[in-house]
Structure 1
Amino acid sequence: MRATAWWHELSGSAKFRLYSRLTFQAAIAGLVVALAMSDDSMLAVVVIIVAGIAAMLAVEAQPDFATVPGVVARPRMLPLATATLVVIWVAGGIVAHVAADESTVVSARVVGVSAALLTIFSVIAFTRHKWWILIGLSVATPPVLAAPLEAGLKGTATLLLAGVFAIALTLLTVWALGIIDELERTKEVEAQLRVAEERLRFSRDLHDVVGRGFSAVAVKSELAMALLRAGDADRAVSEMEEVRTLAVESMGQMRTLVRGYRNIDLRGEVAGARSLLSAAGCRLVVEGDAAKIPTAFHEVAAWVVREGTTNIVEHSAATTATLTLGGAGMSLRNDRPQGSIGERSGLRGLGERLAAVGATLDIAMSDDEFILEIHWENQ
């Protein structure tokens, strides 16, 4: 389903931001219900609901809660929602000053206090000078709503306490979001460092293994040319024989080096897959044992584990994966796949490897699971 796929495609940071945003909106919805039940006037209830909708829209537009940090889809929503709350707060104060009916005055004060509380939770808690704005609003609200002195003092204290709670909750949430973002960046940097480290290791091995041999070939070739020019053909032939020997040895060393990267061990790949998936936030469960795999298929099974693990990291947001090893075949399953099967070009090469040893590859994908199944046809 599209909704499920959309959720699976979100990063851990984006999911936590969405969760935080929905939590704040749910808290505001609960506050609106409580405030609306505190007054019997239908008009006041409607105005409080409108203020609640404006507050929820303000939370939706907060940059701190954006799915992509700092990028808001509707940047004008926040000023519009803030202006709506301010207008309701001012309108409540005007009605409280000019109304002659006591019940109307009380309803106007409820509306004004409601607008102030919703503004604190949805706007002020996220602003730069939040503490000064909170104090100013808390002190100004009772006079604006024409509240008696004793009730005004209680109202100021209530707004201050609510503001302290809202700001503390917001600061903790934003702090947690910062930690999640930092963890995401750390995972990306770690992956880049692993690639750079592997490249450095290969270049170092390549230099150490064949660099000296090629240097000797170059020097002896120049010496042989100089001997030929000097008329010493016998020594030149001897030097060229050594050049040929060095070239053959260097080629052998090169093959050994490359073979070290191409020949892989099944048990080592399973251990590496567990480590890599764990670093990516996915738990690998291994069922069966590598000893059950027929000897003829050990190497290709190792390639299945390597390519399957790469596939999980690159094309899913998996949290769990299951590797099953058996005498008749093996399988690798993971949850939360992303994209389509056609995007996984590495699987074509894996299918060719399997066909070369008489094995088959079956692929199945649903909204919730991706499955690689391998069967040993000759067993």
Structure 2
Amino acid sequence: MDRQRDRTRLQVLPLGRSRVNLTPGPWRRLSDPAKYRLYTRVTLQVVLLALGVVGVVQSGDVAAGVFSFLALIAGVVFLQVRPELTGVEQHPNGRRIEFACVAAVVVAWVVGLILIRAGDHRMVGAVGTITVVTAALAMLPFLRYHWIALVAVSTATIFGYGYERDPLLGIAILTAIGAFMIVTTRASLWTLRIVDDLDTARRAEAQLRVAEERLRFSRDLHDVVGRSFSAIAVKSELASRLARTPGNGDRAAAEMDEVKSLAVESMEEMRTLVRGYRGIDLPGEVAGARSLLEAAGCRLTVEGSPDSVPAHFHEAAAWVVREGTTNIVRHSSATAATLALGSSGLTLSNNGAPDSTGDRSGLDGLAERLRAVGGSLDAGSDSGVFTLRVRWENA
């Protein structure tokens, strides 16, 4: 009965609006560059199929439809295995698949040429145009001399399949269409490279922030503890010499009392430094979390105010925000996170979470810290969303 009542109380905590995430799990787990790469590849494939379907419908010829679709499917598969569009270094059978796709387009082009020369299929000329469009959108952009290849393919198609008007005009029109396709694909590849560079820069910035924090801690450790330890070493040596000199026992004892005082003071400074880098406060941790997550490519939404958290829970809440933010950066590919602060507790949730929580030593340490001040912690992952819930028992 008490457990049911606790769950009921937990559900009515003023921690912000509830959310229902309808985004598929595999999509949420992708990074932003991976999402854009998938979107670009699918868009190119859909455009290719749409243009091909329009051409086939207008031709109204069964043979044209069969061989046009052979070329279109080859183009779609070719885009599917390109490393630039998949993010994978190289598909295990990538070269073979690419060769087979090129061969399929060439076969469709040659068979269409044979049929139109035989004169049995007047509308099969659409195969030539569709194969050129397929090659220009899916294959030629990845060649070094793609413009030369485009002019050669367009010329061969016009003279092979024939053109009712001036052949040079036909070559110009077909080359212009192919050039538009090549520019479309290469512009998409250029945008992908920019997105990858921006993601690399964001990761480097996040790592730099961590390195700067380590350097700051090292500097603080040197400044705070180094002076005290040096004084302890000097006074200990002086006390040792005085103790060996007759008549200086009182002075030696006084020096050792000072060594004891310095040691106690150093221990307190060390605890203060380790506990919060010379102090930890909730508003500062919220601001730091926003800055760190933004550098890592994750947008933090804050609901509520640090002032709504009871004053005697501020330090514990600040530690929760710090540890939760660190876990988001280290253990997820999150692009969005939400921090909800309330008088009865707080929640920190993020997308892009792995299926398993992994090492829980940090969370266990948080739970112990919260128990010491009368709080409780609950954490779990569901459908790629990790949620950290904290409740103030005595609030």
How high is the TM-score relative to the length of structure 1?
Answer: 0.87
Q: Show the counterpart of 1:180.
A: 195
Q: Show the counterpart of 2:79.
A: 59
Q: What is the CA-CA distance between 1:129 and the residue it aligns to?
A: 1.1
Q: Show the counterpart of 1:124.
A: 140
Q: What is the CA-CA distance between 1:344 and the residue it aligns to?
A: 4.5
The superposition leaves residues 71-124 of structure 1 with CA deviations (integer Å, 9 ceiling, x where unpaired) of 335412111101111122122233333x1x3x52x3443222321221111100
Q: Show the counterpart of 1:209.
A: 224
Q: Show the counterpart of 2:49.
A: 29
Structure 1: 5+ residue stretches without partners: none
Q: What is the CA-CA distance between 1:217 and the residue it aligns to?
A: 4.2
User: Aligned partners of 1:349 and 1:216: how far apart in 2?
Assistant: 34
What is the correspondence of 1:325-340 to structure 2 with a 5 Å cutoff?
325-340=341-356
* Contact 1:220-1:240 within 8 A present in 2 as well: no
Deviates more, 1:88-97 or 1:348-357: 88-97
Q: What is the CA-CA distance between 1:342 and the residue it aligns to?
A: 5.0
Q: Does structure 1 residue 154 correspond to structure 2 residue 174?
A: no
* Contact 1:138-1:156 within 8 A present in 2 as well: yes
Q: Which of 323, 326, 329 is matched with 1:313 structurally? A: 329
Q: Does structure 1 residue 291 correspond to structure 2 residue 307?
A: yes
Q: Does structure 1 residue 361 correspond to structure 2 residue 374?
A: no
Q: Does structure 1 residue 303 correspond to structure 2 residue 344?
A: no
Tell me the SS of whatever aligns to 1:150: coil
Q: Show the counterpart of 1:15.
A: 35
Q: Show the counterpart of 1:163.
A: 178
Q: Show the counterpart of 1:38.
A: 58
Question: Identity of paired residues, percent?
Answer: 43
Higher RCO by CA contacts (8 Å cutoff, separation 6 or greater): 2
Tell me the SS of whatever aligns to 1:281: coil
Q: Which of 243, 258, 267 is matched with 1:245 structurally? A: 258
One-letter identity of the residue aligned with 1:201:
R
User: Aligned partners of 1:266 and 1:52: how far apart in 2?
Assistant: 58
Q: Which runs of 4 or more aligned residues in structure 1 lie more than 6 Å from their structure 2 counterparts after TM superposition?
A: none
Q: Which of 74, 79, 90 is matched with 1:71 structurally? A: 90
User: Aligned partners of 1:159 and 1:240: how far apart in 2?
Assistant: 100
Q: Show the counterpart of 2:7.
A: none
How high is the TM-score relative to the length of structure 2?
Answer: 0.83
Q: Which of 267, 283, 286 is matched with 1:267 structurally? A: 283
Q: What is the CA-CA distance between 1:182 and the residue it aligns to?
A: 0.9
Q: What is the CA-CA distance between 1:223 and the residue it aligns to?
A: 5.7
Q: Show the counterpart of 2:11.
A: none
* Contact 2:334-2:352 within 8 A present in 1 as well: yes
User: Aligned partners of 2:300 and 2:267: how far apart in 1?
Assistant: 35
The superposition leaves residues 11-34 of structure 1 with CA deviations (integer Å, 9 ceiling, x where unpaired) of 211111111100100010111101
One-letter identity of the residue aligned with 1:313:
V
User: Aligned partners of 2:124 and 2:42: how far apart in 1?
Assistant: 29
User: Aligned partners of 2:190 and 2:240: how far apart in 1?
Assistant: 72
User: Aligned partners of 1:40 and 1:24: how far apart in 2?
Assistant: 25
